[in-house]
Each structure stands twice: as C-alpha cells, then as structure tokens.
Amino acid sequence: MSDDHPLFPPRPADEPESPLKGAHGTTPWPPDPSSSAAEGTDAAGSGRADPAAFVLPPVADTGPAPITVNRPEFFVNHADKIINETRKQGILEGPTLPRHRIKQEPIVREGQWAETWLQALDPAGLHPRKHVLIIVAPRSYGSTTLALHLLARHTDEDTDIVKLDADWKRPKVGWLPAEERHAYQVDLKDPDHDRVSADFLTMLEEHAALLEKLGSYLVLNVAKDLWTDHYIPVQSGIHVVHLNEPPPAQSVVEARLRARKAPGLIAYLRSVDKAKASLSRLDAVEAVRMADSAVLAWREHERLTDSSLPMDVPSSWSALDAGLVERITSALSDWRDKLDILFGETVSEHGGKATSLPLEDRCLLLALAVHQSAPMPVVAKAARDLQHTIGAGGNGFASTTSAAFAGRGLRRRVVDAGAGVGSQDQVVFEQPGYGRAVLTYVWDNYEVMREPMLKWLMSGEGSEANEHVVDAIAALILRHGNVDHLAQLGTQAFPVKEELLSALLVQAVQDEHIGRQAWGILYGWASGKERAATVVTACRQVLTSPDVTSSQARMAMVRLRRAANSGHESAWSEALKAFVEQAQHPAGVARLIAEVRAWQQSGRSRGAGTAAFLALMSVPGTTPWLLSDAVPSDLDVKRALQDLLGDFTTAPDAINRLTAWIRQSATDPGHYARIRDSLLPVLRGQKIFKASVSLMQALEHVSVDGETNAANDFWDRLVDPRVRSVIQLDRDPA
C-alpha cells in the first residue's frame, strides 16, 4: 500500500482540528496558566480568541518576505556592532569572572613577577601596554593568575573580564570574540591544538585594532614549549612578555595561608628548616598545594588530639605546638631521603634502622598510600592485587604461601610501613602528605611500574575507596601536564572500573592545565562502543555540576550528541537519561532545543535529536511544554512526534510519554480535550498506525473525570465508523 494514501478515511468536516505548533504556520494552543514556560517570555497570541473556535486556513508558501531597510544610514552607522553580534555563534565562550573575586585571590609580585607586571603596563602604569598581550611562560608557573589579576586591577570597572575556553582545532582569530568593554583571557597550552603560527599573529594585529576601537583587551597565556620566537613589530597592537621564573614558593604559600584565614600557620612554616628547603624547588601550582597540605595537617591534628588551635591570627614563636610542628613538617616534606632508603637495594633484614623494603612491603606501602585508612583485610588484599599485577608477566614476584607464612605478620609489616593498627584491625595511615609522596616517588623513579599501577588502581574494589583512588590516579597521570596516560586508560588493555574512570575524567576536564586535552579524549571515545557510555556518564556529571560554565556545558553536549549518534544502543539510552536531567531546568531545555533543531535540519533518523525531543516531552509542568507557546517556531513538533512514533525503536518511549501527558490531564476535561485535539492530527497516518493502536491500548484504563474512557475516545475520533467492524482495538483483558 502506498504511503501517499491515508489509512483512515477523511475527517468529517464538522470535527475541528487543533494543530500543534510547528514550522507550517499553524496556530498553537495557548499555554496553561500554570505551565512552566520561561519567565519573561511573551506569549504569542495573548488576548486571542480560543483557537478551538476557529481554524486559520493554510497560507501558501510564497518564500521569505523581502527585507526593507527604512533607514539605511542607521544600518551603515551600526554595521560594526551588527557584525560583532552575528559572530557570537562561531566564537569562543567562557565565564565572566567577578572582578572583586579575582582581587580577593592571593598573588605574589616579587622578583621577575614584579618586573613582568611592569613590562605589561603602559608607561603610566594604568592600563595594559597594548590591547593584545601575550604572556609566554613554562607550565605551572602561574601565568594565568598574573593575567587575570592584571586585567582586574588595570582595566576600567565597567569592563567585563571573561576567561575563554580555547575549544578549537587550531588558533584562529575569527574565533576570538570582540565586544565593547571586555577583557578576555585565554590559555594556549594544548600541544595538539594551540600552537601559535605566524599567520595567526598577522591576523591578530588586525584584531588588536578592533579591540582598541571597542575599548577591550585580550591576554593570551602561551606555554613556552608552544611558542616559537615569532617577530612582533613594535608598532603593532601586540605586546609580548616572557615569564621565566615562578613566584617565590615561600611567599606563595604564606599568601595562600592568609587567604585561607590561617595566618597563624605561617610561624609554623617558618620554624621548619626542612620545609623551607623543600619549598625552594616548587613551582606556583605545587606551592599552592603545599599551603593546602599545611591547612589539612592543622585540621587533622585538631581532630586527632581533640584540641583547638586558632589560626586566624599570627602565632607567637613561644606558643607553637610541638605536635603540630611535627605534623606540618611531615606534610610539607618531599620525603625523598627516607624514600631513597625504603626503595633502595632490597635487603632481607629489618632491625632497628630503616632499611629498604622487600617487594611485598613496597606493595603494602602503595596500598596504604592509596587507601589511607581501611580495615586490614582490605589493605592486605589491595597489596596482594598489586603484587599479582606486577608478577602477572611471569617475573616470579608473587610470594608463595609458605614464604609468606615464614615472614613477618601483617600487623608488623603495616607498622614498619609507617601506619598504625587500631583495636578493631583498622589500619590508620595518618600522613596523607607522605602517602602522596610515596605514590609520586614510585611513579617518577620506576617507569616500568606506571602501567601496572594504573591497572591496579583502575580495577580496585570497594566503592568506599573510590575518592582516594581517583585522587591518587589524578595526581599521577596529570602530574606533568599531559594526557598520555589518561588516553591509555581507554584501551582494552585496562580492566577499568567505570565509575572510577568517569570520576577521573570529570577531574581531568575541569583541570585548568590539561582540561582541553581531556575534552579531546572524550570526543574520540564518544563514537566508540567501548567507552561511549563512560563519556556520557562523565558529561552528565559535568552538566549537573553547580559550577559548570557555558563553554563546559557546550563541550559536554557535543560529546553527548556524538555518543548518541554513534549507533550504540547503550550509549543512546544513557544519553537519553542525561537529556531528561537537562529537561528539568531552563538552561538544559535551551540546550535540548538546539539538539532537536539540528536533528530536524539534518534529517537523521535516530540519534541525539530524537533523545533530546523525548527529553523535552518530560519537561515538568501541568501543560506539556511541547504544546505551549514557549516552543520556538522553527521546531516542528508534529513532524517530530510522527517520526518518533513511526520508528519502532523510539515508538515505545514516545507512547509512554504521551500516555503520561494524557493521564496527567485526565482530571481536567478541558485540559484533556486540548491535548487530545492537538495529538489527533499526529496520530493520523499509515506509518504510525501501529503506534496509534499501541497508544490507545495504553490508555485503556485511563478515565477522564471518572466518565469518559480515553482509549474509546481516541478510537472513536481516529477510526472511521465504516471500518471499525474490520479494524478493532485489542482490549487489555486486565
């Protein structure tokens, strides 16, 4: 039977149709007063008569209306502004940072930092020297902090400071925003996508002139290894400064302690010579971590000693607590001298002096470093698992039962490794700084151990250890600012625990140093069967984060779309769950609208667009959101519903949601009638006959206001009386 001939006879002339809002010029139902339409949106057609009272005749498609410019001089005078606003659809995005928040963050301007700061300013020291400033510095030196503070302190108060996310394949000036009174900052640190070319700098000179005209600024923070000594003309609008040293680590730690309302810890910091020695080798990022470690040590000391040591005021030298001094020394030490001994040439004696650890005790120490505190059997099993992973290649490392029994007991081994054992066999490893140092030491000094450690960590058991495990993995694989090991976790060689990997990915994409590269890995994984579901899980967590930025949300949606379009059923189902979560708030609804719009323009049969439309069918409210005036006019709701109902893979989900609409409206006959009359035109058609019957079967037990059976009502209106004796509804006997 041809698809051009309708299955049902023509509708009686006296039965009014109530069309859905779509792209065909039809009149929608007005939204219910209690609908969840976006606040501040004017209802199209407010004050009109009830659409049920009349039906507008279709208007012939005469093509787009001609554009008339009544004031050409107005258009010409504002051409620049119009061009800049139209560019917004294809440019970099990022969050606007509050100026006062930036100023509240600590910054140290000493040594070369003070010199670079002055070099970046004009001779009067009031504004940046040029409207495009390039800061070249090694990674982790804190150049981004310098840039943001420079903009916060030396641009006008009415200038918005925007931190852009460089989501591009290569630097392109056409992707850089240009709006009035804006100060933009962007990091270029991805070796695959952020290398600055001579052509880019040539175009950037023209962009600098545009920014000057708009009263705006741009700061590019370029990693030193991505910068070739490009020639920049002095007369151009670009100024380049080089930052070759990090700020003094001691000063950074002290400034961080003041910012965290713990200036009293500074006296402890200065009292420890070993801490000063270890701080001298740190870059800016490591110095900030050291300050946080000192605060953690202070709080841990108070918890364990049940004491209170106020640190919101400077401490006097005579009042220093000896126990806290020791704990802070431990937290700030890099432990290299001790670890050089413990991981020296293996010996079998364990006397009064510290000696190197045998293999099984090294595995135990790593297990303690990851788990921190856990029951002895958990730590023992983790150590055995690591030892088995190391010995899986036939190296003969695994201890036999007899050899293990002839050696020291677990309690003694735990104590020798630096931990304590409670009365209920609870291992307590009270030195988180030491544990992190152990992991880092092994990672840096035993390259052959990196892959076995990753396999061991990613296949660990026990959800209670997940937070510690994720932190441990992140500290190792993100240590040197690259994502090689993160990408390795996506291969089939790793027995990955999915929740660990997704949590790790969330940390990675939010890391300011390797976030861009991590997003790139997710993009590649999204189309593969092995990791698509993991990508969806990670993107869901990013989208539900209260601190998600617009650019992060956009990148997460791109990867959700790619996973849903991959053709893998599990990925599509997981993407649908993520989209349903997005449908619960206005920002998410806007993202879903964009997905549906792209789907209908592409003509794709099934993928992210269908999942997004199904999610929009779940937008909360007494009136289905898709039947309200809040729906953009370029979304064809009728066509989308028919596409979903005509596809056997999506029809069940669509029917379930339509049933929920009708069931929810069953207590209000008027509300029910509006929904029913909107759906009737959708349900007519040969391709969706089976879906229409399935919907009516699902409505068998839905009663409208306790009187009308919804299934019978739809049947009587959809099926012509002349064929009802031939085509009958299969009633549910239940």
> What is the rounded distance in angstroms from the CA atom of residue 306 to the CA atom of residue 500?
34
Decide: pTM greater than 0.75. no
Q: What is the pLDDT of residue 369?
A: 87
- Going edge to edge, which strands form the sheet with 182-188? 96-97, 160-164, 182-188, 217-223, 132-137, 238-242
Q: Which residue has the tokens 């005749």?
A: 57
> What is the rounded distance in angstroms from the CA atom of residue 629 to the CA atom of residue 688?
26
Q: What is the pLDDT of residue 9?
A: 46
178 pLDDT band, cuts 50/70/90, is very high
Checking if the pLDDT of 11 tops 50, the result is: no
The SS3 call for residue 349 is coil
Q: Which residue has the tokens 């599990």?
A: 570
Is there a contact between 166 and 193 (Cβ–Cβ < 8 Å)?
Answer: yes
- Total residues found in the chain within this entry: 734
* Residue with more model confidence, 154 or 40: 154
The SS3 call for residue 723 is helix
**Which of 62-66, 72-76, 657-661 shows the highest mean pLDDT?**
657-661
Torsion angle of C-alpha atoms 204, 205, 211, 216, degrees rounded to 10 = 80
What b/e sequence results for 599-617 when a residue is b if at least 16 CB atoms lie within 10 Å of its CB, and e otherwise? bbeeeeebbbbbbbbbbbb
Is there a contact between 576 and 533 (Cβ–Cβ < 8 Å)?
Answer: no
Position 707, amino acid = E
Q: What is the pLDDT of residue 6?
A: 43
Q: What is the pLDDT of residue 540?
A: 94
Q: What is the pLDDT of residue 560?
A: 95
H/E segment holding residue 717 = helix 710-718
276 pLDDT band, cuts 50/70/90, is low
DSSP notation for 79-129 = HHHHHHHHGGGGS-B-PEEPHHHHHHS-----THHHHHHHHHB-TTSSSBS
68 pLDDT band, cuts 50/70/90, is very low
> What is the rounded distance in angstroms from the CA atom of residue 411 to the CA atom of residue 172?
61
Q: What integer is the mean pLDDT of 4-14?
A: 43
What b/e sequence results for 235-263 when a residue is b if at least 16 CB atoms lie within 10 Å of its CB, and e otherwise? ebbbbbbebebbbbbbbbbbbbbeebebb
Is there a contact between 422 and 428 (Cβ–Cβ < 8 Å)?
Answer: yes
- Rg of the Cα atoms in the chain: 33
Q: Which residue has the tokens 């899980």?
A: 537
* Residue with more model confidence, 452 or 478: 452
> What is the rounded distance in angstroms from the CA atom of residue 458 to the CA atom of residue 379?
16
Q: What is the pLDDT of residue 15?
A: 43
Burial class (CB in 10 A: 0-12, 13-18, 19+), 11: middle
Residues 6+ apart with CB under 8 A from 276: 250, 270
Percent of the chain whose predicted confidence (pLDDT) is above 70: 79
Q: Which range among 306-310, 621-625, 698-702 shows the weakest confidence by mean pLDDT?
A: 306-310
Residue 15: closest CA among 684, 661, 686? 684
Copy the structure tokens of residue 401.
């039962």
Q: What is the pLDDT of residue 460?
A: 63
**194-to-84, 134, 165, 199, 225 alpha-carbon distances in Å:** 24, 13, 12, 13, 11
> What is the rounded distance in angstroms from the CA atom of residue 487 to the CA atom of residue 192?
14
Copy the structure tokens of residue 60.
């012939």
| pLDDT per position as a tens digit, 225-256 | 899 878 787 778 899 999 998 888 888 988 99
Copy the structure tokens of residue 682.
């959708």
Mean of all residue pLDDT scores within the chain = 79
Residue 369: closest CA among 511, 329, 361, 287? 361
> What is the rounded distance in angstroms from the CA atom of residue 385 to the CA atom of residue 403?
17
Q: What is the pLDDT of residue 480?
A: 67
Task: For residue 96, list its beta bridge partners.
Answer: 162
Copy the structure tokens of residue 216.
């705006």
Position 3, amino acid = D
Strands (DSSP E) contained in 124-194 are: 132-137, 160-164, 182-188
Q: What is the pLDDT of residue 46?
A: 37
* Residue with more model confidence, 37 or 414: 414
Copy the structure tokens of residue 460.
């660990």
Position 387, amino acid = Q
> What is the rounded distance in angstroms from the CA atom of residue 149 to the CA atom of residue 447?
39
Checking if the pLDDT of 30 tops 50, the result is: no
Checking if the pLDDT of 184 tops 80, the result is: yes
> What is the rounded distance in angstroms from the CA atom of residue 12 to the CA atom of residue 16?
9
Q: What integer is the mean pLDDT of 69-93?
A: 48
Checking if the pLDDT of 189 tops 80, the result is: yes
Q: What is the pLDDT of residue 210?
A: 95
Q: What is the pLDDT of residue 284?
A: 85
H/E segment holding residue 375 = strand 373-375
The SS3 call for residue 353 is coil
Burial class (CB in 10 A: 0-12, 13-18, 19+), 41: exposed
Q: What is the pLDDT of residue 43?
A: 35
Residue 255: closest CA among 207, 216, 288? 288
What b/e sequence results for 155-168 when a residue is b if at least 16 CB atoms lie within 10 Å of its CB, and e otherwise? beeebbbbbbbbbb
Q: What is the pLDDT of residue 547?
A: 84
> What is the rounded distance in angstroms from the CA atom of residue 92 to the CA atom of residue 295?
37
Q: What is the pLDDT of residue 10?
A: 46
Checking if the pLDDT of 505 tops 80, the result is: yes
Checking if the pLDDT of 462 tops 60, the result is: no
* Residue with more model confidence, 369 or 5: 369
Checking if the pLDDT of 349 tops 60, the result is: no
Q: What is the pLDDT of residue 407?
A: 66
Which pairs count as long-range contacts for 446-450, CB under 8 Å and 24+ apart, including other chains? 449/390, 450/476, 450/485
**9-to-210, 690, 692 alpha-carbon distances in Å:** 64, 16, 15
Q: What is the pLDDT of residue 17?
A: 43
**Which of 96-100, 292-296, 473-477 shows the highest mean pLDDT?**
96-100
Position 147, amino acid = A
Residue 471: closest CA among 508, 509, 428, 418? 508
Residue 120: closest CA among 146, 141, 96? 146
Task: For residue 220, list its beta bridge partners.
Answer: 134, 186
Position 649, amino acid = T
Checking if the pLDDT of 510 tops 50, the result is: yes
Q: What is the pLDDT of residue 277?
A: 59
Q: What integer is the mean pLDDT of 580-590?
A: 94
Checking if the pLDDT of 140 tops 90, the result is: no
Is there a contact between 379 and 371 (Cβ–Cβ < 8 Å)?
Answer: yes
> What is the rounded distance in angstroms from the CA atom of residue 346 to the CA atom of residue 348?
7
**475-to-11, 88, 385 alpha-carbon distances in Å:** 68, 37, 21
Copy the structure tokens of residue 179.
């709006």
Checking if the pLDDT of 719 tops 60, the result is: yes
Checking if the pLDDT of 165 tops 70, the result is: yes
Q: What is the pLDDT of residue 72?
A: 40
H/E segment holding residue 380 = helix 376-391
Copy the structure tokens of residue 54.
């009349």
85 pLDDT band, cuts 50/70/90, is very low
DSSP 463: G
Q: What integer is the mean pLDDT of 128-132?
A: 95
Percent of the chain whose predicted confidence (pLDDT) is above 90: 29
Copy the structure tokens of residue 205.
């000179």
Is there a contact between 95 and 162 (Cβ–Cβ < 8 Å)?
Answer: yes
Is there a contact between 375 and 365 (Cβ–Cβ < 8 Å)?
Answer: no
Copy the structure tokens of residue 234.
């002095």
The bridge status of strand 426-428 relative to strand 703-704 is unpaired
* Residue with more model confidence, 719 or 480: 719
Secondary structure of 232-290 as H, E, C letters: CCCCCCEEEEECCCCCCHHHHHHHHHHHCCCCCHHHHHHHCHHHHHHHCCCCHHHHHHH
Is there a contact between 433 and 331 (Cβ–Cβ < 8 Å)?
Answer: yes
Checking if the pLDDT of 648 tops 70, the result is: yes
- Going edge to edge, which strands form the sheet with 426-428? 373-375, 426-428, 420-421
Position 266, amino acid = I
What value, to the nearest 5°, has the Cα angle with vertex 165 and ends 162 and 170?
A: 130
Q: What integer is the mean pLDDT of 300-308?
A: 80
Q: What integer is the mean pLDDT of 397-422?
A: 69
| pLDDT per position as a tens digit, 722-734 | 666 666 666 554 4
Residue 188: closest CA among 507, 512, 520? 512
